[in-house]
């Protein structure tokens, strides 16, 4: 298991098996605890199911039978004062859980209570009270209110409650809620329904209660409340539990949401579907043979075999068999079979390739016709990509019906296309072309016949040359347009070409020695396989390096121009190129799950989507053709009237006038010429192509620069953003604590620096606190080693620090490549170590002088944590640890501010840390101590002020705000939930890409406007010119001229969009040079900080007290004076990137 997705996959898959009552998987412990019915399923079957998912599984302990307890348990709620953090909760829980006679412990930090279930025959409340108050450091005070006894509590049946949930945006939200709540004590099962916005939880009422479950969901950033109408059900068995869930689950659930029901029997289970590629079928008898034989097997619900497609669709019970077993069943019948890659297309969703569209009128006609069809819920057609995305009710209409509708509106030739369009009561560009050529030909033919009948002495004026010229110019224009449009999706084609076709799978022996190599198609690589990548080769899958060192070129995927070093433990991306050095990579994501496949899919969907402005263009184009036909008829009538009233006007501007031609023929011929020219020059294509071509190029360029834009709407919205809200942890900061400074007190320190680091690193290695882990990592890097000394008698006191004894560091220092110290006189001395805050030192009898206190305060005012180190009773060092700000954060925020965008920071951290970080990066408005559920309220409040708000975040708690913001931007290193909820995903963890995405949006929208203006000007000027309005100034067009101009207009719009390919991200150096003369540092007093949902600004006085004290003490220097009566020296080390400066 590598991540929480693995945990969720196992919990969902195993939890759906028949007989499984509960599943709890621990990623850190690499263990799974299962509750199951041994009459239905065995441990070996469960282990095999886990291994079939690609994991290695083994039984740690034999199952024990659960017997209902007959103990007379007593319940009591104890009041506990002195709890400050999660460590206090952990200490109390661990202390009481190990006591004989305790059945369950539930500690609430918010309420300051401990809910305890115990056996009064084995344990007394006085004993419990004494145990709690003796927990170090002895700060807990316990009060015992009245308590009640519940006899034979094991007889209490499980209960089910329905919780309404708002703020879920995707399936990742569902999985996050299910994963978190299912791990809580007392929860038997949970099922969350996205569409119905509710969750059904089955729980033990003696361990937890509905309000606590509701609060847990709200703490994740969602709005939750108890459904009063559904009530709470008592459930005495797994079957009743399942039925209770199903009764409360309405029939509106989508197929994707009906999975993972709590099983009560195979007949009530959900059904899954898989597709199998079948070879060797020759006739309908083969189809019948496969269908009839598969249906005989238990667990097969339905089989549909397509002879021509060579494919079988099988619906099956996942608790009884899986797709590989279905393949074996077909193979036994004598046919070749293999599981097809799981389709990402959902039921009721159809993606089509539509050929024959020529203009935006076709788009409007197809969409309007589809939407008038019963059962069609949504239809979106993209002219630039020739694709259609249709959502439909599969009970009312099928895929073939939809395809048939679209086929009636398209064809191969102009006349067939026009005929089909007119037959369905619509008109498109082909109708205009056919009208122009038909009128010209029919008119010419009639005039010629009349001349022959009358025996005219001179050939009549005809338009026989017009139809072929029109067709030539139109065909040429469409060919050029097709060539240009293919260039708009070139970025997508480049991404798709990055995918490797083959992979070298290896089998490893001891010490990663290669035993066997096999060249296979990349589609056959499975998760967990080890792949060998030669120098210059492409990485076929996403994975983790297990052997070798090299550099990888990821520029075409992430936009990072410099090669990235890859060593054991590094992650690689499918499609990137191995520069030099052979690597062994363990596959973690394969097939459609790789980063490259996800990017390609995202870009494809974005290029097919429509920007809001495109909806208007398509609607206008739908009325364009009828409007042109009316103008053409008016043109004929107008020139007939003018010709008969003032023939001199026609004679003046008619190039083919001949005295021998009858006057009436000249007038009619001139009128039809103007009318045909109007039909030829009118072009709805330029309007229809103005937006989609620009969106295609813009999203492609964004993908090449590491910016994934999910469609035309966010691309258009980005340029309207007036306010950007940044999350702090992991977005503005790196999200990982780092040692920023080491201060060694040389007068008191009896050990050299490296020995101090060895002692501190060894001591903190036993700590689970994030700060302790950061210190250990720093010490290892400085010493150049992965092994440390021996730590014993370790004790951690929450909120204070640690104490322990450290030994065996002498060998460590001798073996360290960065250490050249000689061995000390003592072979392996032992050191008594204290590490913690001021109070911890004082409690252990150590004096913290004013100078040291001021040095600590100076770091604390910057939002850093100052840690003191005492070795053998001597205070000898101070370390400053902080979640450091990203290098580019300040520049990105300054650049956004210079663009006229308001910048805010919103965080759940305390106000002092938030103000310190904001001061460093230049943010003037801060919302601190904001709960995840309140971030949405902050976004909505800014929206109420008329601002378009962009939210930038990376965590699960940011996902509701990302979804509610006008533009959600997720950092690519963030969680799956945040990425799914966002509109724009930044592949690189670089905030300058936020600026680049807004810049790209502005460039794209500017290009769309240029295209629209050109298209409108072309039609507004071209149609009057063709109609003869500008004849008095000498502008007269022939029909072939109009067709040439029409073809040129479409090509010019596409070429205009292609200019976006010239976009290059502004370099960091250029941004730095722009900001150098304008960027000013902020003081804390300039930062406006608001707490929680408050709107008033918090006074920074308390912040300034410490700052003034620091300034008065003169501790801004790099040297400290510890005691005025005993002069001493100290040396200060500021660290940057893990190096002592």
Report, at the CATH architecture level, how domain 700-732+885-1001 is classified: 3-Layer(aba) Sandwich (3.40)
Nearest Cα to 1090, choosing from 732, 731, 725, 733?
Answer: 725
**CA quadruple 691, 694, 699, 702: dihedral positive or negative?**
negative
Q: For 316, left (φ over 0), alpha (ψ -120 to 50), or beta?
A: beta
List 198's β-bridge partners, or say none.
164, 193
Residues 801/765, Cβ–Cβ less than 8 Å: no
Question: Phi and psi at residue 544, in whole multiples of 5°?
Answer: -125, 130
- CB-CB contact of 775 with 761 (8 Å): yes
Q: Name the pairing type of β-strands 542-547 and 571-572.
A: antiparallel
pLDDT score at 823: 44
* pLDDT reading at 167 higher than 80: no
Query: What sign does the dihedral 1129-1135-1138-1141 (CA atoms) show?
Result: negative
Tens of pLDDT, residues 532-586: 998 888 899 999 999 899 988 887 777 666 788 898 888 898 888 898 888 999 9
pLDDT band at 348 (very low <50, low <70, confident <90, very high): low
727 is catalytic: yes
The conformation of residue 901, written as its DSSP 8-state character, comes to -
Q: Where are the beta strands (DSSP E) in 645-727?
A: 707-709, 723-727
DSSP-H helix ranges across 57-104 = 86-97
Which among 144, 150, 146, 222 has a CA at the least distance from the CA of 181?
Answer: 222
Q: What is the CATH number of domain 271-339?
A: 3.30.70.100
Fold agreement between 271-339 and 349-439? yes
User: How many alpha carbons fall within 13 Å on the CB side of residue 818?
Assistant: 15
Dihedral (C-alpha) 853, 854, 855, 858: value to the nearest 10 degrees?
A: 130
Percent of the chain topping pLDDT 70: 71
Whether the per-residue pLDDT at 705 is higher than 90: the answer is no
Contacts of 846 (CB under 8 A, 6+ apart): 834, 870, 873, 875
| Domain locations in the chain as residue ranges | 1-66, 74-151, 271-339, 349-439, 450-479+611-692+1008-1060, 700-732+885-1001, 754-836
Q: What 3-state DSSP class applies to 75? A: strand
Q: Which residues contact 768 (CB under 8 A, 6 or more apart)?
A: 796
Fold of the 754-836 domain: Calcium-transporting ATPase, cytoplasmic domain N (3.40.1110)
| Contact predicate 1084/923, CB 8 Å | no
Q: pTM for the complete prediction?
A: 0.54
Separation between Cα atoms, residue 1055 and residue 486, nearest integer Å: 11
CA–CA distances in Å: residue 256 to residues 49, 162, 171, 260, 390:
21, 20, 9, 10, 18
Residue 402, beta-bridge partner list: none
SS3 per-residue string spanning 844-888: CCCCCCHHHHHHHHHHHCCCCEEEEEEECCEEEEEEEEEEEECCC
Q: How confident is the model at residue 397 (pLDDT cuts 50, 70, 90)?
A: low
Could you tell me if 970 and 956 are in contact, meaning their C-beta atoms sit under 8 angstroms apart?
Answer: no
In total, the chain counts a number of residues equal to 1141
What pLDDT is recorded for position 150?
38
Of 491, 473, 570, the closest CA to residue 1048 belongs to: 473
DSSP element (H, E) containing 187? strand 187-193
Is it true that the peptide bond before 572 is cis, omega within 30 degrees of 0? no
Q: What is the mean pLDDT of residues 703-727?
A: 86
- Please tell me which of 245-249, 580-584, 1036-1040, 1089-1093 the model is most confident about, judged by mean pLDDT: 580-584
* Lowest-pLDDT choice from 408-412, 685-689, 786-790: 408-412
> Which CATH number is associated with domain 1-66?
3.30.70.100
DSSP letter, residue 234: E
* Phi, psi angles (nearest 5°) of residue 160: -120, 135
Would you place residue 995 in the very low, low, confident or very high pLDDT band (cuts 50, 70, 90)? Answer: very high
Dist CA 762 CA 780 (whole Å)? 9
Which is the catalytic residue, given 322, 529, 618, 727? 727
- Find how far residue 1131's CA is from the centre of its chain: 46
What is the per-residue pLDDT across 841-892, written as a single tens digit (0 to 9) for each?
999 999 888 888 888 888 887 778 889 999 988 898 999 988 888 888 889 9
pLDDT of 735 strictly over 50:
yes
**How many Å apart are CA 277 and CA 899, to the nearest integer?**
55
The answer to whether 629 touches 438, Cβ cutoff 8 Å, is no
Interval 55-71 mean pLDDT: 64
Residue recorded with tokens 């945040």: 978
Integer Cα distance of 644 and 636 in angstroms: 12
CA–CA distance from 41 to each of 17, 38, 211, 316, 362 (Å)?
9, 5, 34, 18, 58
Of 1.10.1060.10, 3.30.70.100, 3.40.50.300, 3.30.110.60, the CATH number of 74-151 is 3.30.70.100
Q: Is 686 helix (H, G, I), strand (E, B) or coil?
A: helix
Q: What is the mean pLDDT of the chain?
A: 74
Select the CATH number that applies to the domain covering 349-439 from these four: 3.40.30.10, 3.40.1160.10, 1.20.140.10, 3.30.70.100: 3.30.70.100
Residue 335 vs residues 279, 303, 305: alpha-carbon distances, Å = 6, 15, 13
Alpha carbons 303 and 330: distance in angstroms, whole number:
11
């Amino acid at each position: 298991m590598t991540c929480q997705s693995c945990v969720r996959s196992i919990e969902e898959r195993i939890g759906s098996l028949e007989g499984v009552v509960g599943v709890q998987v621990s990623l850190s412990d690499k263990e799974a605890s299962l509750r199951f019915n041994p009459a239905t399923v065995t441990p070996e079957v469960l282990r095999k199911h886990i291994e079939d998912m690609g994991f290695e599984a083994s039984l740690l302990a034999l199952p024990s039978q659960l017997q209902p307890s007959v103990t007379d348990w007593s319940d009591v709620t104890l009041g506990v004062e002195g709890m400050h953090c999660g460590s206090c909760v952990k200490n109390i829980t661990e202390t009481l859980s190990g006591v004989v006679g305790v059945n369950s412990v539930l500690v609430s930090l918010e309420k300051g209570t401990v809910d305890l279930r115990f056996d009064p025959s084995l344990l007394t409340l006085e004993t419990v009270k004494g145990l709690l108050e003796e927990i170090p450091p002895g700060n807990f005070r316990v009060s015992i209110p009245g308590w009640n006894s519940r006899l034979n509590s094991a007889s209490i049946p499980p209960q089910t409650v329905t919780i309404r949930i708002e703020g879920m945006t995707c399936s990742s939200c569902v999985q996050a809620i299910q994963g978190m709540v299912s791990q809580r004590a007392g929860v038997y099962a949970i099922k969350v329904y996205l569409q119905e916005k509710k969750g059904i939880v089955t729980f033990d009422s003696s361990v937890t209660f509905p309000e606590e479950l509701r609060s847990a969901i709200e703490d994740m950033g969602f709005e939750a409340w108890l459904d009063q109408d559904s009530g709470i059900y008592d459930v005495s068995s797994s079957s009743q539990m399942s039925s209770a869930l199903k009764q409360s689950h309405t029939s509106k659930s989508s197929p994707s949401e009906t999975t993972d029901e709590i099983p009560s029997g195979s007949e009530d289970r959900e059904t899954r579907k898989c597709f199998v590629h079948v070879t060797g079928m020759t006739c309908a008898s083969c189809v019948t043979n496969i269908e009839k034989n598969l249906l005989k097997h238990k667990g097969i619900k339905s089989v549909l075999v397509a002879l021509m497609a060579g494919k079988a669709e099988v619906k099956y019970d996942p608790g009884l068999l899986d797709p590989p077993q279905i393949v074996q069943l077909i193979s036994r019948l004598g046919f070749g079979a293999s599981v097809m890659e799981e389709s990402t297309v959902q039921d009721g969703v159809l993606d089509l390739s539509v050929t024959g569209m020529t203009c935006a009128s076709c788009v409007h006609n197809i969409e309007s016709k589809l939407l008038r069809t019963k059962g069609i819920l949504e239809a979106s057609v993209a002219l630039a990509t020739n694709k259609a995305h249709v959502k439909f009710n599969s009970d009312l209409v099928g895929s073939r019906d939809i395809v048939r509708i679209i086929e009636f509106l398209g064809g191969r030739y102009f006349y067939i296309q026009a005929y089909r369009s007119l037959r369905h009561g619509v008109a498109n560009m082909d109708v205009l072309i056919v009208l122009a050529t038909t009128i010209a030909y029919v008119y010419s033919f009639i005039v010629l016949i009349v001349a022959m009948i009358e025996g005219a002495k001179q050939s009549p004026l005809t338009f026989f040359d017009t139809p072929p010229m029109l067709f030539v110019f139109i065909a040429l224009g469409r060919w050029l347009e097709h060539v240009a449009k293919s260039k708009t999706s070139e970025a997508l084609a480049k991404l798709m070409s990055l995918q490797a076709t083959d992979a070298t799978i290896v089998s490893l022996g001891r010490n990663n020695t290669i035993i066997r190599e096999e060249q296979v198609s990349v589609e056959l690589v499975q998760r967990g396989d080890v792949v060998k990548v030669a120098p210059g080769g492409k990485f076929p899958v996403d994975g983790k390096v297990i052997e070798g060192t090299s550099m990888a070129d990821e520029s075409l995927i992430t936009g990072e121009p410099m090669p990235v070093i890859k060593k054991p433990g590094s992650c690689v991306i499918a499609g990137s190129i191995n520069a030099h050095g052979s690597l062994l990579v363990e596959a973690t994501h394969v097939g459609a799950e790789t980063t490259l496949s996800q990017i390609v899919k995202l870009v494809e969907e974005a290029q097919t989507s429509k920007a809001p402005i495109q909806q208007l263009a398509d609607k206008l184009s739908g009325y364009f053709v009828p409007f042109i036909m009316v103008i053409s008829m008016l043109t004929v009538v107008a020139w007939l009237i003018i010709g008969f009233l003032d023939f001199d006007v026609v004679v003046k501007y008619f190039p083919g006038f001949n005295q021998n031609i009858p006057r009436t023929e000249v007038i009619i011929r001139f009128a039809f010429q103007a009318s045909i020219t109007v039909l030829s020059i009118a072009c709805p294509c330029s309007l229809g192509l103005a937006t989609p071509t620009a969106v295609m190029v813009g999203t492609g360029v964004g993908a090449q620069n590491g910016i994934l834009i999910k469609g035309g709407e966010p691309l258009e919205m980005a340029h309207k953003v007036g306010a950007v809200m940044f999350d702090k942890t992991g977005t503005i900061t790196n999200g990982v604590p780092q040692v920023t400074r080491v201060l060694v007190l040389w007068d008191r320190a009896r050990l050299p620096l490296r020995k101090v680091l060895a002692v501190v690193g060894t001591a903190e290695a036993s700590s689970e606190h994030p700060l302790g882990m950061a210190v250990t990592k720093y010490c290892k890097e400085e010493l150049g080693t992965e092994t440390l000394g021996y730590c014993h008698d370790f004790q951690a006191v929450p909120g204070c620090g640690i104490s322990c004894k450290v030994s065996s560091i002498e060998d460590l220092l001798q073996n360290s490549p960065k250490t050249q110290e000689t061995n000390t006189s003592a072979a392996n001395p032992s050191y008594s170590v204290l590490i913690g805050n001021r109070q911890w030192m004082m409690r252990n009898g150590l004096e913290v002088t004013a100078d040291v206190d001021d040095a600590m305060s100076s770091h604390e005012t910057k939002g850093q944590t100052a840690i003191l180190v005492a070795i053998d009773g001597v205070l000898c060092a101070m370390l400053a640890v902080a979640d450091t700000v990203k290098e580019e954060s300040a520049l990105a925020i300054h650049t956004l501010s210079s663009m006229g965008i308001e910048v805010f920071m919103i965080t759940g951290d305390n106000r002092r840390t938030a103000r310190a970080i904001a001061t460093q990066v230049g943010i003037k408005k801060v919302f601190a101590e904001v709960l995840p559920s309140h971030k949405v309220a902050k976004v909505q409040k800014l929206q109420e002020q008329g601002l378009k708000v962009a939210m930038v975040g990376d965590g699960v708690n940011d996902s509701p705000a990302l979804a509610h913001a006008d533009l959600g931007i997720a950092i690519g290193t963030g969680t799956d939930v945040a990425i799914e909820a966002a509109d724009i995903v930044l592949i690189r963890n670089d905030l300058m890409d936020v600026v680049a995405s807004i810049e790209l949006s502005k460039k794209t929208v500017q290009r769309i406007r240029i295209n629209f203006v050109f298209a409108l000007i072309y039609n507004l000027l071209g149609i009057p010119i063709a109609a003869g309005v500008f004849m008095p100034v000498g502008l007269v067009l022939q029909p072939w001229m109009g067709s040439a101009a029409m073809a040129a207009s479409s090509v010019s719009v596409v070429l205009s969009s292609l200019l976006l390919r010239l976009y290059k991200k502004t370099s960091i150096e250029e941004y730095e040079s722009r900001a150098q003369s304008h960027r000013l540092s902020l003081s804390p007093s300039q930062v406006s900080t608001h707490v929680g949902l408050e709107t008033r600004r918090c006074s920074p006085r308390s912040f300034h007290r410490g700052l003034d004290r620091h300034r008065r003490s003169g501790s801004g220097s790099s040297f400290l004076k510890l005691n005025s009566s005993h002069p001493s020296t100290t040396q200060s080390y500021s660290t940057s990137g893990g190096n002592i400066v």
